[in-house]
Structure 1
Amino acid sequence: MPVEGRRDSRFGQLLRRGFTDPRAAELLLDGPVLRPAAGDGVLLDALGATADPDLALRSLARLAEAQPADELALLLDTLLAAKPLRDRLLGVLGASEGLADRLARYPADWQALVAFETADLHPGTVEFETALAPAIDPDGLRVRYYRALLTIAARDITGTTGFAETAAELADLATATLRAALRIAQREAPADAAACRLAVIGMGKCGGRELNYVSDVDVIFVAEPADGTEEGPALQAATRLAAHMMRICSDTTAEGTIWPVDANLRPEGRNGPLVRTLSSHLAYYHRWAKTWEFQALLKARPVAGDLGLGAEYQAAVAPLVWRAAERENFVSDVQQMRRRVEESIPAAQAERELKLGPGGLRDVEFAVQLLQLVHGRTDPELRHATTLDALDALAAGGYVGRQDARSLDASYRFLRTVEHRIQLHRLRRTHLMPVDDVDLRRLGRSLGFLGEPVEELTAAWRRHTAAVRRLHEKLFYRPLLDAVARLGGEGQVVRLGQAAARERLEALGYADPVAALRHLTALASGVSRKAAIQRTLLPVLLDRFADSADPDSGLLGFRKVSDALGTSPWYLRLLRDEGAAAENLARVLSAGRFAPDLLLRAPEAVALLGDPAGLHPRERSALSQEALAAVRRAGTPEAAVAAVRGVRRRELFRTAAADLIDAYTPEDSPAAKPPAAVLDRVGHALTDINAAAIAAALRAATAVTTPDGAEPPTRLAVIAMGRFGGHELGYGSDADVILVHEPREGVEEQPAARAAFAIANEMIRLLQLPSIDPPLLVDAGLRPEGRNGPLARSLASYAAYYRRWSLVWESQALLRAEPVAGDVELGARFVELIDPLRYPDDGLSDESVREIRRLKARMEAERLPRGADPTLHTKLGRGGLSDVEWTAQLLQLRHGAQVPALRTTRTRAALTAAAAAGLLDEEDAAVLDEAWVLASRARNAALLVRGRPLDSFPGDPREAAAVARYLGYEPGEVGRMLDDYRRTTRRARAVVERLFYEG
């Protein structure tokens, strides 16, 4: 056959065998180094079976070129003759460019792969110690380490070992390396070695014998004086030895680096001494250690140095580990650890993260370790350091469903294997899935996906991460639900056991696990379709409840809603089929009393949680039309107002639910909204809800006081004041109003005034009828002459009063006046009347400014409740709402006539306008705005949590933790929340004192 024909034929063969650059491959195969072996199809077949045939061939050519002339033939002959070597060597060369570089530097190391003795097929620490023993200096240790790593990779790539065996071998090699490094350090400093007993404790994946190819090796050092040595000098000697050992492993030289040794898991981390005595370790763990430190100690294992001392350390800390779940803040600590891991991932990398991303390796490890800490207290069989061994033990003990455990085991093995292959390529530490198709193809082929490697790998990866996400929730809760669903004849929980079930619920934050089990039994026991759906839903819901400050309330609320709606076919279907509905319901039910109380009075409102548009606030016009229609249909004014209350109740729930869901949306989520924007939306929504209710009540009152449908003798308008007029209402705010009327043509002043009083009085009476719904308290105390003046005045009477008697505080109060109900034209004319008072052409006189300051100082002195902490009172405290609002209003009174943008009823808009006009420094405006938003949100949070108004932070620990969660803190960060609030308002107070009192 012509030469060209042979080349074309081989070109096709190379393509079929998976080469992506057959031209370059032909050049290498026809080159002088590989030509003697290239004609044998055996070599092409072996190359085609590798993860990256092109890389394998390039690396083989490099290795061959690096061979001494007398060794090249041996390499090629052995390669062609011995299939085990061929598979091992080419498998490594096709998967790891990093190891190929090492082989090119040390070309004789390929012979380590020629044969494995039976005893070496699964070597342990002893075998690796033997392999490293000849090393007498750090560089020699590095060379021998990589030679041993080559053999581990060869067994891994060819399938001689699976993931678990490979991870164990890597940990054993790390153990042997630490021992060799310590031996070198001791040889170089014999006096230090003689002065102390030093034990090296393996932590993390090294301690758990599940190490990666490229990873920090976590350790803790413990030391004791040798006989005849004082403790101080002994610890100094031990510290020098430990630091030297770390450098031997961590330093980078011409021979590369082995891996960093990380001792930051020690007591006090980087700030603590590198080496401590055993008693010092124990003193720290007894007094200062945090929950995560005990979780880390699950994997503590003596690995080097004085193994007797290491065993003493392990025996001493083990009881502390298994009592960690009894710690007071165990639940909040665990939740905080989990959330910090999630928040530490850059948003752009979250979907590529094998370790920390959703459905990643950390989810599996975290779940297994938490269950170990909870149940290992009473069951020693669970005390394993290796994740998969612990998972097997949890399944065997009935703490985890066997099918769930098998699925989680498979996903964990897959994800760890993917992680190993990614790291093996360049011997670099990474947990990110590649994005380049070339890298994905090599990775897929290394895992056995030979058809469409990229597509098959991506599908498998998505499938396993999705399975882990599902199982992460099921792992905790499925055994609980299986248990309560299978109660024996005497009421004994089957499989998990009542005691274990209570332990788990208590560890997950349930203060009354007995009641929680009772609720779960009521919801999920039996064989009905309803119970089966509940068992599907509850893992997600219980996980969300456990993430809140009050899981018991969340579960109780869910049971009550389910009892009320359980027979409605749409209810469970909504929660089952609309994933967002179940999650939103869990957030709402576990966040406090206000929203659940509203929902339990109208359970059908749960449907709002499944509609993407269901939580958007409705326009005031639509609310008013609905409320007025309800009034028209009602037979009595009381029935009319009851119907209006129903509309208001539903809209309050809509507003509160949207607020809570936004508060619990992670900040890096695309759905996240800035807290200030959410606050503004709540203020507008509550204003519109109350305005619609007042308009409807006014219509009902007019009908009562003007029988037979006759036109009343006067027109009436309701003017909102205070936070109501400013669209800044909180959930517990009163509705401040004043009422203005104008006699109709031909009607005398007195009859008109009597009619206006009757309508206004009836409107207020109807709105304040006793009810289980949140009250709408209408307060007309800001009217002229206060409670001593008429409830409703005519427009002419207002004009006369303001012309003759008006005080500066009344001008200030009118800054927020805005018509909200009744006669629109009359409301507009009232605004025309008061504008010259609230935006005076000449601004304020010095005396008026002094009067406002006096009023503010007197209010601070007299109205702050006795015993209230002025640094935490959101309304009247230092830097709180009153401080910011009076400062903004003083600027409006002074400059509103000249600066049209200041003519607003809204505080934040006034601050923005003042800054834009140069009346307020932008930084000062930002400080005031931040304090006002925070104080407003804190007030809203307190009411959402407690169900009733509070102008400070709750004293009850659970309520305070719930407020903290709403404001974006962890439940265990109440102290930090209060410190941040004080700092923010202290800065605002400094601005207020400078601008309001001095400026």
Structure 2
Amino acid sequence: MTSAPGRRSSTFTRLLRHGFTDPSAAERLLDGAGLTPVRNDPVLLDAFGATADPDLALRGLVRLLEAQDGATARQELLDTLIAAKPLRDRLLGVLGASEALADHLARHPGDWRALVTYEPRDLHPDVEEFERGLAGATDPVSLRVAYRRCLLSIAARDVCGTIGIAQTAAELADLATATLRAALALAGAAAPEDTALCRLAVIAMGKCGGHELNYVSDVDVIFVGEAADGADEDKALRAATRLASHMMRICSETTVEGSIWPVDANLRPEGRNGPLVRTLASHLAYYQRWAKTWEFQALLKARPVAGDRALGEEYVAALQPLVWGAAERENFVADVQKMRRRVVENIPAAEVDRQLKLGPGGLRDVEFAVQLLQLVHGRSDASLRSGTTLDALKALAAGGYVGRADAAQLDDAYRFLRSMEHRIQLHRLRRTHLVPEDEADLRRLGRSLGLRTDPVAALTREWKRHASVVRRLHEKLFYRPLLDAVAALAPGEARLSAAAARERLVALGYADPAAALRHLEALASGVTRKAAIQRTLLPVLLGWFADSADPDAGLLTFRKVSDALGKTPWYLRLLRDEGAAAENLARVLSAGRLAPDLLMRAPEAVALLGDGGGGLQPRSRAHLEQEILAAVRRADNAVQGVTAARGVRRRELFRTSAADIVGSYGTESQPAEADQGALVDLVGGAVSDLTAATLSGTLRAVVREGWGDTLPTRFAIIGMGRFGGHELGYGSDADVLFVHEPRDGVDEREAAEAAGKVVTEMRRLLQVPSADPPLLIDADLRPEGKSGPLVRTLKSYEAYYRRWALVWERHALLRAEHVAGDEDLGRRFTELIDPLRYPAAGLDEEAVREIRRLKARMESERLPRGADPKLHTKLGPGGLSDVEWTVQLLQLRHGAREPGLRTTRTRQALAAARAAGLISEEDASTLDEAWVLATRVRNAVMLVRGRAGDTFPTVPRELGAVGRYLGYGSGHAGDMLDAYRRTARRARSVVEELFYGAS
């Protein structure tokens, strides 16, 4: 007795190590008579430790041993348990996972022997084998016992990992099938006269029909009846109804052995208010005339399982055309989506976060998304017509309707969530889809899924991760913009048959439907995955192209882009899956020439159009400069370095132009940008930053090739005009000044020669002929203009400005800003010019008159001959020049005492003038509106024509495209021009007062 405490302490420690949460209780059970072999056998303790709940497994084993009929039977069980590992793993695995099956074994202590027979060759029983297992049942009670015995064998293989979740669910459906047949046989044996009168077919629906049943679930069925030869139909239907009702009671009623599962016939026509059994003709009449969308969705899983096999197959065959034509119903996709939302809304608030089946990110999200895609695309693709969720998902991926990676993630998440659901139900064999809250239940659940380290936390983490994946992909697939449009097409249109396509093209306004048909044929013919995805995309894209001034050009460019990227796996996947990507592309390709031309030079930029990760958000100057400088470092010479910089510029110009077009046109999911000024600022800032980064890269490439790491002189580039003001358009030149300062110990002549070579080489490299939009450097705003040196030292600038600076030069310096090169030198240059552009004494009257004369001369000399001044966005009345010179005059006069005016940006300076009371809010708003509109017209002209212009196009198609960009529908070009004239006229009135009338 004195050794007992030591022995007990050792056992306690071993039990704790093997996962027992109540080692003291386990010790007491193991100390009971006959369990010494269990306590002392490390193999058995390891087996307990491998179960979901060792404490539960031990209690179940003790109950099973106590239920054995005598010592011999108990010893046989123990001996077999110790000697046979397969039995040990199966039996203890079940006992550790299912209290309900432990209860069954305690009531039927000999049923443990059913687990001995299942060796590897017997791992996948079919319906016939289950029927043999149920064959001895002669009444509802014995049927329940036999059913639980079969269920025991499935659960044993499941918890041991011998079969996966899909096979488990399929076997449960097969067991349900065998049980329905046995129950129907019992009902028929009880009423042979009814059997003689009728033919009765039982159609499984839902998870049973889909071969994916749960451990505990309603088994949804529909009954079809016909009169036997010579029988009266009314009598036959009454007989069939009695048989069906009796069969349902046998399965559903509770006896001393509990129940099997409820048989639910509420999916039948008219639900519980309709007759339980109908003839095939009655079913067809109902579905053809009265059925709702959800009823066709339910029929997707219909499968004959019991009764008259031929009648069941006839029923399914007759209804298949209706099921696969359901997507053509009006508002089909919207109805299915609405039904899913209604299911979520009806979940009690306290249960939403615990719902595995119905909640957001739950099993229904997967099932509804898969079924919707099946019903939309399965009309013309029979490979999608599986009633099993995972098989259908695999087919959708194989056919190109779902991305392979998305399908793999959904498959993985669905398997995990179904495994959770199974193990939750298996514990007490109760119908539930709620994740438990009790920590012990969560621990058992986590361990049953193989999560042994901190199982509660690991289970929560994995569950939330999979639910998040499901929710994201459900939103992506279930609410995919293409689905509704594809469903709205007739099957012929969805397959792009020539006749349907031609008719649709003419109706949509394509000018050359014959050419468009050739493009469609080239894109969508064949049996490849690529062609299949194109057949899904094109019917919808055609409509989006048509919502533009030139749908033919949009389709042609789409074909070119698709040809260029045809072998790139992500391209069509992006358009199919990434929300607004396809619509964005359609808008961009049909809006004009600039963006498509840029895209054709770099087709991979299509990836920017996806809605994930802010693809159309312009990148910062620092980010761009970092990328370009890295590319220059990798290049072998200056030419390659500048080529790489131009490649980045090309891609980023596409990004900016696409963002501009999408923001202007809008999409179904993203309305047109309300603040047009924001789009102007976006374009101006992005193009200016890109130009600055390109110049930085070009400068680095030139210096690196000619001088290595260090140029003999410090060198900086100063942006002027629109460049310095962050207001560059797509086709603007880059106005600049070049400044240098010899390094210590470097001869001034050597420094000047080096600086001159840098400028010359930069201009040469940037002017090398290319298909890219040109980047022209204009240095004409330098001291002495074209006759002065291209580059000067800082001291030279200081001497010149101090002695010779003219009014126009001080005016031009208002927009000077360092953009590239030596930052310290750039900063000292701006400090040098600040007193010139913001003079402390303001401007005298002579200077004001000189500025007015300069403006008048510029407009008279530069306005193109024959141009309508009222529609010239730059030099016309109320145009850019009017607004900018008015704002800049305010800056010259008041900038010294109003810090807000010391900015190179027109709109910021105008806002500062309003805040300082130098201009009324109404006048400032008028000028701002005119400046934004004129800038947008210039941007639109470049986007539409692919070349810069300061006035509206004269070609009707181009004018219509500009109007579409500005928010005017087709046929409203006149309204657009009238609106521009009105805006410019109001702005000119303000300019007359502030600029020409200022004292």
Query: TM tier, shorter chain?
Result: 0.5 to 0.7
1:24 is the counterpart of 2:25: yes
Rounded to whole Å, the distance in 2 between the matches of 1:388 and 1:271 is 33
Rounded to whole Å, the distance in 2 between the matches of 1:430 and 1:558 is 55
CA deviation vs aligned residue, 1:369-395 (integer Å, no higher than 9, x gap): 222222322222222221122222223
Aligned to 2:106: 104
CA deviation vs aligned residue, 1:343-381 (integer Å, no higher than 9, x gap): 233344333222223332222222222222223222222
3-state SS, counterpart of residue 409 of structure 1: helix
Aligned to 2:501: none
Aligned to 2:53: 52
- Choose which of 625, 633, 641 in structure 1 pairs with 2:926: 641
Q: Cα distance, 1:525 vs. partner?
A: 9.0
Q: Cα distance, 1:274 vs. partner?
A: 1.2
Q: Which amino acid aligns with 1:391?
A: L
CA deviation vs aligned residue, 1:957-993 (integer Å, no higher than 9, x gap): xxxxxxxxxxxxxxxxxxxxxxxxxxxxxxxxxxxxx
- Decide whether aligned partners of structure 1 residues 258 and 705 sit closer, same or farther in structure 2, where only a CA change above 3 A counts: closer
Identity of aligned residues (%): 60
Aligned to 2:499: none
- Decide whether aligned partners of structure 1 residues 516 and 300 sit closer, same or farther in structure 2, where only a CA change above 3 A counts: farther
- Decide whether aligned partners of structure 1 residues 540 and 167 sit closer, same or farther in structure 2, where only a CA change above 3 A counts: same
Q: Cα distance, 1:526 vs. partner?
A: 6.5
Q: Cα distance, 1:66 vs. partner?
A: 1.6
3-state SS, counterpart of residue 224 of structure 1: strand
**8 Å contact 1:631–1:640 — kept in the other structure?**
no
3-state SS, counterpart of residue 466 of structure 1: helix
3-state SS, counterpart of residue 165 of structure 1: helix
Aligned to 1:4: 5
Aligned to 1:157: 159
**8 Å contact 1:401–1:479 — kept in the other structure?**
no
- Decide whether aligned partners of structure 1 residues 108 and 505 sit closer, same or farther in structure 2, where only a CA change above 3 A counts: farther
Which stretch shows the higher mean deviation, 8-17 or 42-51? Answer: 42-51
Q: Which amino acid aligns with 1:434?
A: P
Rounded to whole Å, the distance in 1 between the matches of 2:610 and 2:409 is 27
Give the alignment's Cα RMSD to 1 decimal: 5.3
**8 Å contact 1:363–1:468 — kept in the other structure?**
yes
Rounded to whole Å, the distance in 1 between the matches of 2:133 and 2:393 is 33
Rounded to whole Å, the distance in 2 between the matches of 1:572 and 1:507 is 17
- Choose which of 300, 303, 315 in structure 2 pairs with 1:301: 303
Match runs of 1:322-401 below 5 Å: 322-401=324-403
Rounded to whole Å, the distance in 1 between the matches of 2:254 and 2:161 is 32
Q: Cα distance, 1:222 vs. partner?
A: 0.5
Rounded to whole Å, the distance in 1 between the matches of 2:667 and 2:316 is 43
CA deviation vs aligned residue, 1:745-795 (integer Å, no higher than 9, x gap): xxxxxxxxxxxxxxxxxxxxxxxxxxxxxxxxxxxxxxxxxxxxxxxxxxx
Aligned to 2:140: 138
Aligned to 2:226: 224
- Decide whether aligned partners of structure 1 residues 488 and 329 sit closer, same or farther in structure 2, where only a CA change above 3 A counts: closer
- Decide whether aligned partners of structure 1 residues 425 and 588 sit closer, same or farther in structure 2, where only a CA change above 3 A counts: farther
**8 Å contact 1:353–1:432 — kept in the other structure?**
yes
Aligned to 2:282: 280
- Decide whether aligned partners of structure 1 residues 488 and 526 sit closer, same or farther in structure 2, where only a CA change above 3 A counts: farther
Match runs of 1:653-802 below 5 Å: none
1:62 is the counterpart of 2:60: no
Rounded to whole Å, the distance in 2 between the matches of 1:277 and 1:515 is 56
Rounded to whole Å, the distance in 2 between the matches of 1:335 and 1:517 is 31
CA deviation vs aligned residue, 1:468-516 (integer Å, no higher than 9, x gap): 33433555799999xxxx9998786994455654446769997989999
Q: Cα distance, 1:704 vs. partner?
A: 8.1
Aligned to 1:447: 449
3-state SS, counterpart of residue 201 of structure 1: strand
- Decide whether aligned partners of structure 1 residues 213 and 535 sit closer, same or farther in structure 2, where only a CA change above 3 A counts: closer
**8 Å contact 1:142–1:256 — kept in the other structure?**
yes
Rounded to whole Å, the distance in 2 between the matches of 1:138 and 1:578 is 66
Aligned to 1:653: none
3-state SS, counterpart of residue 455 of structure 1: helix
Rounded to whole Å, the distance in 1 between the matches of 2:383 and 2:609 is 42
Q: Cα distance, 1:67 vs. partner?
A: 1.6
Q: Cα distance, 1:229 vs. partner?
A: 1.7
Q: Cα distance, 1:23 vs. partner?
A: 0.3
CA deviation vs aligned residue, 1:646-666 (integer Å, no higher than 9, x gap): 9999xxxxxxxxxxxxxxxxx
Aligned to 1:113: 115
Q: Which runs of 5+ in 1 are unaligned?
A: 547-551, 561-565, 608-622, 650-696, 710-999
The structure number with the bigger radius of gyration is 2
Q: Cα distance, 1:458 vs. partner?
A: 2.3
Q: Cα distance, 1:141 vs. partner?
A: 0.9
Rounded to whole Å, the distance in 2 between the matches of 1:416 and 1:375 is 26
Rounded to whole Å, the distance in 2 between the matches of 1:223 and 1:291 is 24
- Decide whether aligned partners of structure 1 residues 242 and 536 sit closer, same or farther in structure 2, where only a CA change above 3 A counts: same
- Decide whether aligned partners of structure 1 residues 77 and 601 sit closer, same or farther in structure 2, where only a CA change above 3 A counts: closer
Which stretch shows the higher mean deviation, 33-42 or 213-222? Answer: 33-42
Rounded to whole Å, the distance in 2 between the matches of 1:379 and 1:18 is 51
**8 Å contact 1:51–1:446 — kept in the other structure?**
yes
Rounded to whole Å, the distance in 1 between the matches of 2:16 and 2:145 is 37
Q: Which amino acid aligns with 2:251?
A: C
Rounded to whole Å, the distance in 2 between the matches of 1:575 and 1:455 is 30
3-state SS, counterpart of residue 222 of structure 1: strand
CA deviation vs aligned residue, 1:847-894 (integer Å, no higher than 9, x gap): xxxxxxxxxxxxxxxxxxxxxxxxxxxxxxxxxxxxxxxxxxxxxxxx
Rounded to whole Å, the distance in 2 between the matches of 1:242 and 1:509 is 52
Aligned to 2:84: 82
**8 Å contact 1:33–1:65 — kept in the other structure?**
no
Aligned to 1:176: 178
- Decide whether aligned partners of structure 1 residues 361 and 284 sit closer, same or farther in structure 2, where only a CA change above 3 A counts: same
Aligned to 1:541: 579
Q: Cα distance, 1:128 vs. partner?
A: 0.8
Q: Which amino acid aligns with 1:27?
A: R
Match runs of 1:572-583 below 5 Å: 576=614
Q: Which amino acid aligns with 2:168?
A: T
Rounded to whole Å, the distance in 1 between the matches of 2:306 and 2:681 is 63
**8 Å contact 1:502–1:517 — kept in the other structure?**
no
Rounded to whole Å, the distance in 2 between the matches of 1:336 and 1:402 is 27
Rounded to whole Å, the distance in 2 between the matches of 1:258 and 1:606 is 71
Q: Cα distance, 1:99 vs. partner?
A: 0.9
Rounded to whole Å, the distance in 2 between the matches of 1:509 and 1:247 is 56
Rounded to whole Å, the distance in 2 between the matches of 1:220 and 1:29 is 52
Aligned to 2:956: none
- Decide whether aligned partners of structure 1 residues 591 and 631 sit closer, same or farther in structure 2, where only a CA change above 3 A counts: farther
Q: Cα distance, 1:196 vs. partner?
A: 0.9
3-state SS, counterpart of residue 576 of structure 1: coil
- Decide whether aligned partners of structure 1 residues 231 and 534 sit closer, same or farther in structure 2, where only a CA change above 3 A counts: closer
- Decide whether aligned partners of structure 1 residues 302 and 636 sit closer, same or farther in structure 2, where only a CA change above 3 A counts: closer
CA deviation vs aligned residue, 1:729-760 (integer Å, no higher than 9, x gap): xxxxxxxxxxxxxxxxxxxxxxxxxxxxxxxx
1:34 is the counterpart of 2:112: no
Match runs of 1:804-815 below 5 Å: none
Rounded to whole Å, the distance in 2 between the matches of 1:141 and 1:372 is 37
**8 Å contact 2:158–2:168 — kept in the other structure?**
yes
- Choose which of 291, 311, 317 in structure 2 pairs with 1:289: 291
Aligned to 2:880: none
How many residue pairs end up in the alignment?
640
3-state SS, counterpart of residue 27 of structure 1: helix
- Decide whether aligned partners of structure 1 residues 594 and 118 sit closer, same or farther in structure 2, where only a CA change above 3 A counts: closer
Aligned to 2:195: 193
TM-score by length of 1: 0.55
3-state SS, counterpart of residue 541 of structure 1: coil
- Decide whether aligned partners of structure 1 residues 441 and 494 sit closer, same or farther in structure 2, where only a CA change above 3 A counts: same
Rounded to whole Å, the distance in 2 between the matches of 1:285 and 1:41 is 63
Q: Cα distance, 1:42 vs. partner?
A: 2.4
Rounded to whole Å, the distance in 1 between the matches of 2:665 and 2:989 is 43
CA deviation vs aligned residue, 1:904-925 (integer Å, no higher than 9, x gap): xxxxxxxxxxxxxxxxxxxxxx
Rounded to whole Å, the distance in 2 between the matches of 1:518 and 1:354 is 47
3-state SS, counterpart of residue 431 of structure 1: coil
TM-score by length of 2: 0.55
